[in-house]
Amino acid sequence: MGDVNLKLLKEKCGEDNYIKLTALNNSNILEFVAKYVEVCNPASVFVRTDSPEDVEYIRNKTIENAEEKKLAIAGHTYHFDGYNDQARDKANTKYLLPPDVELGADIRAIEKSEGLDEINGLLKNIMAGKEMYIGFFCLGPTNSPFSIPAIQITDSSYVSHSEDLLIRRGYEMFKELGEKTDFFKFVHSAGELEGGVSKNIDKRRVYIDLKRDIVFSVNTQYAGNTVGLKKLAMRLAIRKASFEGWLTEHMFVMGVHGPKNRVSYFSGSFPSACGKTATAMLEDETIIGDDIAYIRNIDGKIRAVNVERGMFGIIRDVNEKGDPLIWESLNSPGEVIFSNILVTDEGKPYWLGDGRKVPEKGVNYSGDWTIGKKDSTGQEITHSHKNARYTVRLSELKNCDSNLDDPLGVELSGIIYGGRDSDTTLPVEQSFDWNHGILMKGATIESETTAATLGKEGVRKFNLMANIDFLSIPMGRYINNNCDLGNSVKNPPQIFSVNYFLKDKDGNYLNGIKDKHIWLKWMELRIHGEVDAIKTPTGYIPEYKDLKRLFKEVLSKEYSKEEYIKQFTLRIPENLAKIERITEIYKKKVPDAPHILFETLEAQKQRLEAVQKKSGDYVSPEALA
């Protein structure tokens, strides 16, 4: 490192913060920080260690900078993003790739040298007059086979505060790295601010350099674009896992409690608005994580950890009746950040679907708000944004599992794939084996859009493992990696599919809101061999007698044979149509799709056609028993 950079670093950091950096004894970190101090040109630099004093400094800065404001309940704050900065920017999130690298037709990329020139131009002097915050974190538990060190540079105290709630602190771990270069790096700036929010949204960019494990994010405040150690780090980790023989998945991890105080751990992957968090937060069960999991073969067992220690959850429809555990946390003293909700003069937050009367006025992401306020296009502005969020540590929840920070994670007994499907997939089904589960449950996920979110209802979107938005490797390679992990152990987890959205011919839902709890309880018994199942062409389904008993025990509800038959009747034409759709997608869009996928699709098609020939298009579970 040149003397000029060291001199600049000392000048911007001041003595105390410079000592914090040099105490890491890693010239690679010093060079990385010095480079972006020089490019971004902040007025000062603050280095955050794991100390309570440094954490408190960041919290105080969020208030001082007006990036957060206090609410009436102690420890609660709120943050507003810009009116047009309320979600992940998919169009401008791109991989920086050399000309000879291709990830797939559906994965956005930009030629690497062009992208670097653009991002470096945007970063030039972007922090002038502002303070730079440097944080050190650990993805996964610390001192663990799962641990990945990560460093975040940002000029947003809100982003730094959010990282502290969501991600484990890692400064002390960085001290053990020595001269190692194997860590993830993130550079973010909210850019020029106007009214406290990012002004130059037209220049919002999120660029990912896979070769150097760096993510750049500029001219945005929304956490999905800026809190790099969530979904942005996930993209880096998917690639890293692919080379090293493990998995990074868009999955919750939870404990399902069975007989005699037994706890069996499941992970689950669901597209947005398909019940992922609602499943992970079921009453009387315990949660390890609701979003991202690392999964490894450790000593012949498939084990998983939550990459994070907190939740950045969609707050819409969180209410006292439907989500009592989250509701309690959001209404009790403790550290919580609300974003893009409505705040009244009394310092009370409100959001869509909270079950309370909407206040007549308040402040929200659009400024001063009253009922009936419209935007520039004449559209009415809701009191809270549909993508409003809450950020909270999992330890604040009463159902937090005691193994959250276990360095070896938890052994997975089952893996669940779900989607929004009105006419094909049964409410719960077990795959025949690991490969069948990965290929027919995970690699064939389709999820229907909803009118509330996308304006057109019922359009099926293909979403491989509910992870397609975050893939940083070709799809075929990703499928093979999943198959390989399970095949590397003698007894892999059992794989299941669930569908909470099945309807009858009149458009009525066949599942109750709480029925998902029954499907999980059945899975837990099934993996321990304590209930039998009926074999169908697409997998194993429950027997009526077991569901009848579980509905009574868990929900105190009578479950009729008629309900069972309606829910678990095999819909052969719809299943055959899905196989045709999925086969076409892989043939057209995935040139490296593994041959075993097409073989498995064809075998399932033949089983369905054989039953169809014998029993017709719609087959009662009793006819299959």
Which has more confidence, 101 or 145?
145
pLDDT digits (tens, 9 = 90+) for 238-287: 999 999 999 999 999 999 999 999 999 999 999 988 889 889 999 999 99
The pTM of this model reads 0.94
Q: Report which of 84, 1, 466, 137 is spatially closest to residue 275, judged by C-alpha positions.
A: 466
- Does residue 182 have a pLDDT over 60? yes
Task: Measure the CA–CA gap between 250 and 269, rounded to whole angstroms.
Answer: 6
Question: What secondary structure letter does DSSP report for 359?
Answer: P
Predicted local confidence at residue 242, as pLDDT: 96
pLDDT digits (tens, 9 = 90+) for 141-160: 999 999 999 999 999 999 99
Q: What percent of the chain has pLDDT over 90?
A: 87
Predicted local confidence at residue 267, as pLDDT: 98
Q: What percent of the chain has pLDDT over 70?
A: 97
Region 214-243: what's the mean pLDDT? 94
φ and ψ at residue 117, rounded to 5 degrees: -60, -45
**Contacts with 73 (C-beta within 8 Å, 6 or more apart), sequence order:** 331, 332, 333, 336, 347
CB 139, CB 233: distance < 8 Å: yes
Region 174-189: what's the mean pLDDT? 90
- Does residue 451 have a pLDDT over 60? no
Region 198-220: what's the mean pLDDT? 95
Q: Please confirm, yes or no, whether 274 is among the known catalytic residues.
A: yes
Predicted local confidence at residue 406, as pLDDT: 97
Neighbours of 315 (CB within 10 A): 25
Partner residues linked to 265 by β-bridges: 255, 412
Q: Report which of 413, 567, 550 is spatially closest to residue 500, judged by C-alpha positions.
A: 567
Q: Between vectors from CA 59 to CA 57 and to CA 62, what angle results, nearest 5°?
A: 110
**Given pLDDT bands bounded at 50, 70 and 90, which one contains residue 69?**
very high
pLDDT digits (tens, 9 = 90+) for 567-587: 999 999 999 999 999 999 999
Instruction: Select which of 138, 274, 400, 483 is catalytic.
Output: 274
Residue 604 CA, chain-centre distance (Å), reads 31
Task: Measure the CA–CA gap between 472 and 235, rounded to whole angstroms.
Answer: 6
Residue 241 burial by Cβ neighbours in a 10 Å radius (0-12, 13-18, 19+): buried
**Contacts with 385 (C-beta within 8 Å, 6 or more apart), sequence order:** 86, 340, 341, 364, 365
- Does residue 21 have a pLDDT over 90? yes
| Secondary structure, 3-state, 177-194 | CCCCCCCEEEEEECCCEE
Predicted local confidence at residue 450, as pLDDT: 60
Q: Report which of 481, 435, 449, 610 is spatially closest to residue 536, judged by C-alpha positions.
A: 610
Q: Which residue has the tokens 């006025």?
A: 361
Q: Which residue has the tokens 């993130």?
A: 186
Structure tokens at 209: 């350099």
- Does residue 455 have a pLDDT over 50? no
Which has more confidence, 87 or 524?
524
Task: Catalogue all structural domains in the chain, each as residue range(s) with its CATH number.
Answer: 3-66+89-244 (3.40.449.10), 248-309+404-624 (3.90.228.20), 312-396 (2.170.8.10)
